[in-house]
Amino acid sequence: MEFKTKYSRILGHILHAYGQYYRMISTTHPVTLTFSVTGRCQSRCKTCEIGDYWHAGKFADKPDLKLDEIEKIFRSLGKIYFFNVSGGEPFLRKDLPEIIHLAVKYLKPAIIHIPTNALLPKRIEEACREILENNRGKEYIVPFTVKPSIDGIGKKHDDIRGVPGNFNKLEETIIRLKTVEEDYPEFHLELGTVISKFNLGDLDEIEDYVHNLGVQSYRNEIAEERAEFFNKGKGITPSAEMYEKVMARFSAEIIRHLPEKKSLTKLTESLRLVYYDLAVKVLKLQKQVIPCYGGITNLHLNFDGQLWPCCVLAYERPLADLRETGYDVQKAIRSRQAKQTLRFIRKRGCYCPLANQWYSNILMHPPTLSRVILNYFFIDSRKKRK
């Protein structure tokens, strides 16, 4: 997809979002769709209880959406920009390549992203290769990123993720995905850490490990208490003061390595620098520090057909159940329930540092977006002068 086409598309999404936010437009045309493709997960993470719920059989009455249902939903939604796949563990769905095929056909995303717990190295590699081969048969090749989780080194990672031997599986997954990256230029391997009270003292070690691997992109986000994770009241989130110290160090590392990054990675890293500052402010002030466009720029489709504004509000304030609205997203977004939830967000009834949503909020807020642009150009030029 050409540069101008990409950015004219995202501008169209932004303009539509303004119209929807100010109630001049009743349809939805989100920048980002996150799809939790399954509630199944082998992990028993200290920061998330989805795996515990699945192992206990608590999702028995919430079957995963089938391919024909997914196709109806995607067809009703139309074009998006970012397609984030989530879970549970996405690669437990053997039909994941077919889901991505439907997304490319109907949603026509500019970027596809999938996180993973890295417990199925061979299946992850095979699914990625199948997705990439299918992708190459389309009218344009979509950049595709996969992000294995790394929350510690060795046994510490296994302890936080709740599965003995997980770190060894992670290392195998990284090796396999690096070969995929060599074979497919459109594929990007990332690594990601959830910063919680369980690993605050290990972040230097994790970061050194990642940089020594030569992985281009490393991202982190703060552990949150979300309705999606069934972890409300667990006290997993670091204090604002501790998070600020950690982010100051991470930001310094990003700035140091920014000039050597490829253009797409450099842009996302410039965005993260601004996000880290905003996340600290949200935690300190405990309120939205710029307007939130949850349910407008971003939608979250759960594995059981519920449509959410975000994974933080999730089951507590859904927009609709698409299995009850004929799988029609546009009809769902006009429902009374959806309007009530969007009004709650617009009136700043909630706050959170959710990275996925805040990246979109930054795009929608010109003064904050200008800081991203300055990071992208100014930091690079400053480094070159030295």
Structure confidence at residue 5 (pLDDT)? 67
Question: pLDDT tier at 196 (50, 70, 90 boundaries)?
Answer: very high
Whole-angstrom CA distances from 386 to 40, 128, 269, 376, 382 are 51, 40, 21, 17, 7
DSSP 112: E
Residues 6+ apart with CB under 8 A from 8: none
Q: What is the mean pLDDT of the chain?
A: 92
Write down the domain spans for the chain.
Answer: 3-234+292-364
* For residues 50-66, average pLDDT: 94
Q: Indicate if the pLDDT at residue 293 is higher than 60.
A: yes
Full DSSP string of 164-221: TTHHHHHHHHHHHHHHHHHH-TTEEEEEEEEE-TTTGGGHHHHHHHHHHHT-SEEEEE
Question: pLDDT tier at 342 (50, 70, 90 boundaries)?
Answer: very high
Q: Indicate if the pLDDT at residue 3 is higher than 50.
A: no
* For residues 310-320, average pLDDT: 96
* For residues 160-184, average pLDDT: 98
Q: How far is CA 100 from the centre of its chain?
A: 16
Closest by alpha carbon to 206, among 218, 188, 221?
A: 218
As its CATH architecture, domain 3-234+292-364 has Alpha-Beta Barrel (3.20)
* For residues 293-317, average pLDDT: 97
* For residues 25-32, average pLDDT: 95
pTM over 0.85: yes
Structure confidence at residue 217 (pLDDT)? 84
Residues 6+ apart with CB under 8 A from 213: 174, 191
Whole-angstrom CA distances from 160 to 189, 193, 234 are 22, 11, 14
